[in-house]
Amino acid sequence: MTNTLTDFFSPLPQEILVRIYSNLGLKDLLSVWHTGGKAQQRAVETVLFAKDGVEFYPSQIKILTLLANARSICNSDNNYLHDLAKQFAEKMKNPRLSLSERLRGLKLLGTIWHVPPPDITAIVSKLNDQDPEACQAALYCLTDIVSALEEKTLAAVVEPVSNKLNDEYENVREEALHCLAAMIPALEKKILATFVEPVKNKLNDQDPDVRQAALDCLAAMAPALEKETLATLIELFKKFLNHKDPSFCQGALDCIAAMAPGLKKETLATLVKPVTNKLNAQEWQVRKAALICLAAIAPILDKEALINPVEFFKNNLNHEDPDICRAALNCLAAMAPALEKKILATLFEFFKNNLNHQDSQVREAALNSLAAIAPASDKKTLVTLIGPVRNKLEDEDEDVSQAALKCLATIASILDEETLTALIESIRNRLGDKDPDVCEAGLHCLACMTTALEKETLITLVEPVKNNLNSQDRDLYQAALHCLSTMAPTLERETLVILVESITKKLNDPDLYVRRATCHFLFFLLANLDNNLKIEIDSASLNTSELLLIHAVSGWISQIHQVLTQAEVAMQPEQENLQMNRF
């Protein structure tokens, strides 16, 4: 029997398509999904949702959102959509995901299973509270929850939040800017356009923290701004670089640095020369701002454009002025991710030589620089670093000692057992130190290296870390919570339940920052579906925004978890003979 032309062009079997697409990169996979037919789309989805890397998460959200909003793409096959959603729920357990990323995922699962988002009405009403701390707390809670809200809800919140930009209390103005910055990715351009000017006006605020928050907000807006608006801002900052008042020049450099990640390479390239010229300014504040600005621009530029700045900083590594030497180290550390390995290799020895510098701040900067280039260095090179850095654990300056701990934490995976044991003991000894600063340093270092430690080792450190939750020092309390959040994926559910019960009462603490840290930690734990936690709060005791938020979020996530569990039980295994119905 001879094959017809139709037979020759018949669709490839699904398993063959999957095997072919398994060899494609993410960009090509997405291209096939957008240009191919339904058979190709299902094969791409099979490949994409089998990926566990955090770099695939945004694309998984994007594809699943498209399927949820236009179910005809998969022939309105709810079984298939729900099965894909269950696979996606597994990806949300990745400990490397941020709280915002987890919330976006939960929001999507809620959409698919028709679970309404949390009600924030009571929190928004707190924006009108006469107590500035209560208003500040409400703004902070809204900042945390925005990734879970629908666009319509967010749009309604923009105006009351924007109104707080002119509040008489600087902390409220600052928090309002942070809140707007968090909303930006989910807002339409026409809504964004309404608060560009109000945010820009805050660049002239009397409070430096408010000015910095305005910079950060503009930086977050940059990718979404119209070309004309962005060009106007850049030209404004360029003019300020030559302003006779050095504070204007410094502010412009800070603006460019904050907005750099959202600017195109072509735009950044035009800024290198005017920014570099400011390295020779008379005022040290301007020179410092120029260094920081160059460090922010550098990772985004083409490699050829980095040659001159790298040479400039390298030539200053042995400068007699320790401030200049330290600034050069800090800039090269910031540029490290964008540099080629051969350039990093030449810098390695320069950094190492500064470990014994007479100025403690230079030693600290050298350690931070070595930590920055460690991920791109080969194991053979890093082994030579262990001894010199370990010696710095006993440095007379506590900041240097802490930097040494952090540096060793970045290379923990290549440390020999003896060095790793000594490092853990050094950290363990700090966790119970009478000096809260020493203890806090130990907690920060442990948080940096939890992913490199065995579960058995981490379990032995839980109690020493938890003991710091009883501290009256709020910075120490926050550091302990942060450290526990990095350890959470390895903790048993029973341990988490006891931990949650012990700190939930802190949501009513008189200290705003204690409530804030507690709220964020509990939110982080709740957002991991694997934990299957529910926090019961008496509705009569919902006095603070933090209590309101955790109460709302706990109920919402619990519903999503319940629906997922029910779907797991109700759904039958996918039958091969149903596969063709989806094409």
Model confidence over 328-360: pLDDT tens digits? 887 787 777 777 788 888 888 888 888 999 999
Tell me the C-alpha distance between 225 and 223, whole Å: 6
**Is 335 within 8 Å of 295 (Cβ atoms)?**
yes
Residue 506 vs residues 122, 514, 544: alpha-carbon distances, Å = 20, 7, 11
The Cα diameter of the chain in Å comes to 88
Q: Which positions ≥6 away from 346 have C-beta within 8 Å?
A: 314
Residue among 417, 485, 396, 498 at smallest CA distance from 446: 485
Structure tokens at 3: 């094959």
Structure tokens at 573: 């295994």
Tell me the C-alpha distance between 98 and 114, whole Å: 24
Phi-psi region of 542 (alpha: psi -120 to 50; beta: other; left: phi over 0): beta
**Is 488 within 8 Å of 93 (Cβ atoms)?**
no
- pLDDT score, position 312: 78
Count of CB atoms situated within 10 Å of the CB of 568: 11
**Is 259 within 8 Å of 222 (Cβ atoms)?**
yes
In-domain check, residue 65: yes
- pLDDT score, position 377: 82
Phi-psi region of 492 (alpha: psi -120 to 50; beta: other; left: phi over 0): beta
Tell me the C-alpha distance between 522 and 567, whole Å: 26
Structure tokens at 485: 């959040």
One-letter amino acid identity for 252?
Answer: A
As a dihedral over the C-alpha atoms of residue 116, residue 121, residue 126, residue 128, rounded to 10 degrees, the angle is 140
Tell me the C-alpha distance between 122 and 234, whole Å: 40
- pLDDT score, position 141: 94
Tell me the C-alpha distance between 63 and 299, whole Å: 29
| pLDDT beneath 70: ranges in the chain | 1-10, 301-306, 540, 568, 570-583
In-domain check, residue 502: no
In-domain check, residue 109: yes
Radius of gyration of the chain (CA): 26
Tell me the C-alpha distance between 471 and 452, whole Å: 27
- The residue segments making up the domain with residue 92 are 14-114
In-domain check, residue 569: no
Three-state secondary-structure class, residue 583: coil
One-letter amino acid identity for 225?
Answer: L
Tell me the C-alpha distance between 447 and 485, whole Å: 8
At 337, which helix (H) or strand (E)?
none
Residue among 319, 263, 266, 267 at smallest CA distance from 291: 319
Residue among 276, 274, 277, 365 at smallest CA distance from 319: 365
One-letter amino acid identity for 286?
Answer: V
Tell me the C-alpha distance between 208 and 211, whole Å: 5
Structure tokens at 463: 């109690």
Tell me the C-alpha distance between 68 and 81, whole Å: 7
Residue 344 vs residues 374, 375, 376, 431, 488: alpha-carbon distances, Å = 9, 11, 8, 34, 34
Tell me the C-alpha distance between 275 and 281, whole Å: 10
Residue 57 vs residues 29, 92, 258: alpha-carbon distances, Å = 14, 8, 26
DSSP character at residue 127: G
Residue among 224, 125, 121, 237 at smallest CA distance from 181: 224
Q: What is the pLDDT of residues 377-421, one digit of tens each?
A: 888 888 888 889 888 888 888 889 888 888 887 887 777 777 777
- pLDDT score, position 10: 54
Residue among 37, 24, 91 at smallest CA distance from 64: 91
In-domain check, residue 66: yes
Structure tokens at 298: 């550098």
**Is 252 within 8 Å of 233 (Cβ atoms)?**
no
Residue 193 vs residues 177, 187, 228, 262: alpha-carbon distances, Å = 15, 10, 12, 16
Centroid of chain to Cα 123: 24
Q: Which positions ≥6 away from 464 have C-beta within 8 Å?
A: 428, 431, 432
Q: What's the total number of domains in the chain?
A: 1
- pLDDT score, position 7: 46
Tell me the C-alpha distance between 408 and 374, whole Å: 10
Q: Tokens 């809670």 label which residue? A: 141
**Is 569 within 8 Å of 562 (Cβ atoms)?**
no
